[in-house]
Structure 1
Amino acid sequence: MDANAQSWASTPAIRASMRANRSRDTRPELRLRRALHARGYRYRVAYRPLPELRRTADLVFTKAKVAVFVDGCFWHGCPQHHRLAKRNQEYWEEKVNRNRRRDEETDLKLAEAGWVSLRFWEHEDVASAASKVACFVDERR
């Protein structure tokens, strides 16, 4: 990073913490992948359902055209668990709002292309989420 550039993080420790957040292979995502794999389902991981759209789904069932997203409560603004950051509130509020708008746009573009987009919060019951995914995949095969 350029030494003169202003960081979005309020402290170096917060910057390091945020940069360490994973975009794939998160615990909630891995739990869902394990549950589906145990049921015999195979899928692509961190894959673009529509190559022309710069959006990556967590799990993708290409033949069934089902894209699965496991959204983090902080990053995507979970109505049950999201809390505004104490520092840089305006930045984070706008960041989460941009993420929400992007999620809606992604779902719309996938639907227009004949895909089903399934979204789960990181705290949702894994067995229930796996059952829902399995239902949609089986229905569309």
Structure 2
Amino acid sequence: MAAIRGVNTKPEMLIRRGLHACGLRYRLHDQKLPGRPDLVFPKFRCVLFVHGCFWHGHNCHLFKWPRTREKFWREKIGTNVARDKRVIEALHKAGWRIGTVWECALKGRRRRPLGEILDAVLEWLEEHEGDLKLEALPDDHASVRN
């Protein structure tokens, strides 16, 4: 697991490059905030996480429980999910809005167009209220894309 990146992952870099090209500036992995969010937008009081579906136990087509060492993986991923909940609560208490872009929104047969994801993030930042959660397209839309 030492080879698994926690920062600068491919999905994260895709989002970062796209938002930077749109003119947004942000801080990266701010250690002063709970959970060290991937992107921090102090001007909007927002943070954005780009989560891998496997590591964060997302219920989508990309997530499959490993067949070996099942107890280990259930504990590992369960701990990650519990930590995510604690981090979100702490950030909300501190007055931050939270956005989450799931890996399945960026890759796989049900991915969304990158432009659509970037537009949704930009719109969310300017709304000044609520949280954002971007996931893969529903199954009925996936066949239209291919």
Q: Does 1:85 align with 2:73?
A: no
Aligned-partner residue type, residue 3 of structure 2 = A
Partner of 2:95, secondary structure, is: coil
The aligned counterpart of 1:102 is 83
Shift of 1:87: 1.6
Partner of 1:114, secondary structure, is: coil
Partner of 1:57, secondary structure, is: coil
Identity %: 35
List aligned pairs for 1:1-141, cutoff 5 A. 18-48=1-31, 51=32, 53=34, 55-80=35-60, 81-124=62-105, 125=112, 126-140=114-128
Greater C-alpha Rg: 1
Verify the 8 A CA contact 2:91 2:97 in the aligned structure 1: yes
Shift of 1:97: 1.0
Query: Residues 16-74 of structure 1: CA distance to partner in whole angstroms, max 9, x if unpaired?
Result: xx2111111111000001111111001111223xx263x21111101211110011111
Query: Residues 54-107 of structure 1: CA distance to partner in whole angstroms, max 9, x if unpaired?
Result: x21111101211110011111011211211112211111111111111111111
Aligned-partner residue type, residue 92 of structure 1 = W
- TM-score w.r.t. the length of structure 2 is 0.76
Number of equivalent positions: 120
Unaligned runs of 5+ in 2: 106-111, 129-146
User: Cα RMSD (Å) of the superposition?
Assistant: 1.5
Unaligned runs of 5+ in 1: 1-17
The aligned counterpart of 2:135 is none
Give the Cα separation in 2 of the matches to 1:34 and 1:24.
14
- Relative to 1, partners in 2 of residues 1:105 and 1:89: Cα closer, same or farther, differing over 3 Å? same
- TM-score w.r.t. the length of structure 1 is 0.78
